[in-house]
Structure formats: structure tokens, C-alpha cells
Amino acid sequence: MVYTDARIRTVNSETAPASLLRHTAIQTQRLLLRWSRNPVALLETLIIPCLLLLMLDIVIGGQIEKFVGTNALYGSVPMVAIVGALSGAVASGVMLGRERDAGLLARFWVLPVHRASGLISRILAEGCRILAGTLAVIVVGYLLGFRFQQGPAAALLFIVIPVLFGLAFATMVTAIAVFTAKASLVEGITILSSLLMFFSTGFVPLPAYPEWIQPLVRNQPMSVAVDAMKALSLGGPLARPLILTVAWSVGAIVVFAVPAVIGYRRASRR
């Protein structure tokens, strides 16, 4: 009887694998509900990217099509999907900073909740948010004339790339958010994502940039992700941009994962 009671306590313990799954699911749902009720998060994730895609197609879509001979949407849809992932990560980082300042993370830390569920739930919620934003951009792009021409498998990988890229960026944002004030987080990361957008092959074709900056534009993270997604939707060289995209994303996760875990743990103990 004593053995049975001890076994029940072990199964129901907050450190048990079953508790990790249950607590992660609950906290993921909490984050998704909170983001869905936050106007800023909805704007950054769904509305602004779709409006940006529409604006780019109206303003410069025709000129780019004349310049390269193909529909500009095959560059702008991937770019806007990635921009949406980045901007949504900034909004999520701000909300994380607010939870830290309000003491919510500390309250979760003293509750009988699995320690790893907080950070894992944020990763899962970020993935869901990025997926929803990517699908919304694809739908708008489809209405404007964007089509997948390389088959279902390529279309699925097309959707996976913004999720992987966004999770890498979200790891960096999380690492910064648990250490840095909200104002500097927003200003610094927004500037970075804007520079990546304006100096990428998704904004204008590579030959449109001055020759001295073309190597930088061609190899920066957003450009290689856009080139990989363009190859998956329209066709063209795929191996190089796809390998570089995975390398940039995995590299960012490796570099910022440990600081994110340490910072999240420290912020939760305050």
C-alpha cells in the first residue's frame, strides 16, 4: 500500500513526464488565448503582414515583374511571411517582459508546475502563431496570383521554413526579453528586422542593389530563406539557399538557447 501511494505521488509529481505534457498543453493554450485577445499581437501577426503584401504588390509589383520577367509575388510572399514571423516574435517578447515585470513568471515558479513547461509552451505557441501568420499571407498571396508550381511536398516545406526561421528569431528575442528592458527590445529588434527586409532579395531583385553590397544581401538570413521559398514555389536552385537557411536558423537556436533558458529561469525566480 505504501508502494502504491508512493507510485501515485511520483506519477502526479510536477516533475513527471505526464505532468510536463499536461502543463505544457495548458500553458500553450493560455498563451494562444492571450495573444488572440491582444490587439497588438493580432496586428503584428496577421493584419500588418497581409497589408504589407498588398501594398508591395500594388506599389512595386509591376516594376519588379518587368525587371525580372516573373511575378513579384514569388519574392514578396516569402519575405512578408518571414517578416510576420519576426514582428510577431517582437510582440511576444514584449509580453514576456511584461509578465516578468508583473511577477507572473515568479508566481508560476512557486506553483506545482513542471519547470520546463513554461519555456516549451512558449516555443509551441510561437510555432502555432507563425504557422497561422504564414497561412494568412499565403491566402492573400493566392488571391493576388501567387501559386505553388512545384507540388504538395514543396508547398509543405515552403510553410515549414518561416516556422523554423521564426523560432530561431524567437529564441533570440526570448533571450533578450528576459534580460533587457522593453523599450530597447522593441527599438533594437525592430530596426534589425527592418534592415533585413529592405536589404533582402524578397524586397527587390539582387541585381537592383549596388554591386558592393550584393554579397551581403545575397547571404544574409532573410535573403537565403526567401530564395529557398521562391525555389520551392516557382522553381530554381534550391540546395544552397535551403542549406544556408537551416544553418542560420540552427546556429541562432544554438547560440541563444542557453541564454534564453538561463534568463527565463532567473526571471522566474525574481
Those residues with Cβ within 8 angstroms of residue 106's Cβ, 6 or more apart along the chain or in another chain:
267, 268, 269, 270
Per-residue pLDDT of 162-209, as tens digits, reads: 999 999 988 888 888 777 655 566 667 778 888 889 999 999 889 889
3-17, 71-85, 107-121: lowest mean pLDDT where?
Answer: 3-17
Nearest CA among 193, 160, 184, 161 for reference residue 89: 193
Contact present, 67 and 206 (Cβ < 8 Å): no
Contact present, 248 and 221 (Cβ < 8 Å): yes
**Where are the domains positioned within the chain?**
22-268
The number of helix segments (H) and strand segments (E) in the chain equals: 13, 0
Query: What CA–CA distance (Å, rounded) separates 78 from 160?
Result: 11
C-alpha distance from residue 227 to each of 217, 230, 245 (Å): 11, 5, 9
Per-residue pLDDT of 10-56, as tens digits, reads: 445 666 778 888 888 888 898 888 888 877 777 878 888 999 999 99
Query: What CA–CA distance (Å, rounded) separates 162 from 8?
Result: 42
Cell numbers placing 195: 534592415
- What angle, 0 to 180 degrees and rounded to 10, lies between the N-to-C axes of helices 17-36 and 117-144? 40
